[in-house]
Amino acid sequence: MKLYLVAGEASGDARGAELIRSLRVLRPGIEFRGFGGPQMAALAGEAHIRDWTGRAAVIGIIDVVKNYGYFRQQFAIAKAEIAREKPDAVVLIDYPGFNLRLAAALKKSGGPAKIIDYISPQVWAWNSNRIPGMARTLDLMICIFPFEKPLYEQSGLKAVFVGHPMLDTLAAKRLGTPREENLLALLPGSREREIRKIFPVMLQAAAILAKTRPGLRIAAAAANEDLRERMQEIARQYPGAPCEITVKTAHDLMQRATAGMVASGTATLEATYFGLPFVLLYKAAWLTFFIGRRLVKIKWLGITNILANREIVREFLQEGAQPEAIATELAPLLDDPATRAAFQASLQTVVATLGSPGASDRAATAILETLGVSHP
C-alpha cells in the first residue's frame, strides 16, 4: 500500500508524523510519499517526503501573492508525482489553500483512487458555500472539532470526528505543579511578523499592570533563538515591563503563569488545554485583516470561543488591541482567585468537547476503512 501525504506547515508536519506512526502500527509495510516537514521526512525518508515547510508556511494574502510562482511550481510537481506513483490514496493534511485546489485538480484528472482530508479546513468560518464542492471532490473528511462532522454530512460528504490530536501531545507535557503567583505570561506567536506587531502591545499592557503591582513578574516564550533575540530587541524599548524571554518554554509558561496574553493561533487552544486565564490578541497587515473581516462569517476569532459558542476569552483585535483595555481586562485575572477559578472552569468545559486521546490512531483506522483494507 502507498499513500501520498501533503502538509505545508509545522503543525501539519506534526500531524502527518503522528499519522505515519499510527498507520505503520496497523499496516507495517505501508509506503509514504509526498510533501511535508522535517518530522514526516525523518519517518518516511527524505527521498520520499519533500521537506518544504520552511518556504510553504506563508501567512496572509500578501505573502501568497509574492510566492505565487513557487506554489504553482510545487503544485505541478505534486500532480506529476501522484500520476507517476499511483498511490492508493492522497491524504491532504490541513493547508487548505493549496490542498483543496490540489484535490479538485486530482479529481478532474481521474485519480487517485481516494482523496482524504485530515484536519478539516475552517470553511465553516469563511466560506461554508465551498462544502458542496468539497463533497464532490473528497472521499472522506477527518474532523478534529465535533461541530464539523454534521456540517459536511449535510452536503453528502462522508465525515468522521476523531478528536483533537493536541490531547495526545500535550498530555505528556503536564507539569502537575501549582501556578506561580504574580507571573504574567506573554505569548506573541511564532512568526516574526506577528511578534513585531503584537509583542510591543503586550509589553505596553504589562507595563501598565506592573505600575500598581510591584511584585509582578513578566515572562515570554520564543519559538527559537533568533526570535528570542528579536524579542529582546523589542523588550529593551519598554523598560517599564522587564521581561524574561526563554526559548521553547510556551507550554511550561502556560502552566506556571497566573494569567497571560496569547496571540491568536494554535497557542490559543494550547492555553485553553492548560487552563491559563488569558486574553487573546491579534494584529495583521491592514489588507489581510480587511479582506479576512469581509470573509469570516463567525462572531469570534479564537477557537476557544467558537467551541463554547460564547466569549469566554476576551478578544482584542487590530485597532482594538489597546494596552489600557487589555490591562483592565487582565487585572481581575491576576488579582482575584475566584475570577481565575471561574475562568478556568469555563476552559475545562471547552476541553471536554475535544474528545479523548488517540486522534491519530482513529484517523489511521478511518483511512484504512475508506480504502477497504482490513487491519488488526
CA distances from 9 to 6, 205, 252, 348, 365 (A): 10, 31, 23, 28, 24
pLDDT of residue 287: 47
CB atoms closer than 10 angstroms to residue 89: 21
| pLDDT per position as a tens digit, 27-68 | 999 999 999 999 999 999 888 999 998 877 666 666 777 778
Q: Do 112 and 146 meet the contact criterion of CB atoms below 8 Å apart?
A: no
H or E element that contains 310: none
Give the angle 68-73-79 at the CA atoms, nearest 5°: 125
pLDDT of residue 241: 96
Task: Fill in the amino acid letter for 340.
Answer: R
pLDDT of residue 291: 45
Residues of the chain with pLDDT below 70 are: 57-62, 123-127, 284-298, 375-376
Strands 243-247 and 217-222: parallel
Structural domains of the chain in order of their starting residue, each with its CATH number: 2-165+358-370 (3.40.50.2000), 183-354 (3.40.50.2000)
CB atoms closer than 10 angstroms to residue 258: 21
| pLDDT per position as a tens digit, 230-263 | 999 999 999 999 999 999 999 999 999 999 999 9
pTM of the entire structure? 0.83
Judge if the upstream peptide bond of residue 146 is cis by omega within 30 degrees of 0.
Answer: no
Residue 155: strand, helix, or coil: coil
pLDDT of residue 89: 96
Give the angle 325-330-335 at the CA atoms, nearest 5°: 135
pLDDT of residue 40: 96
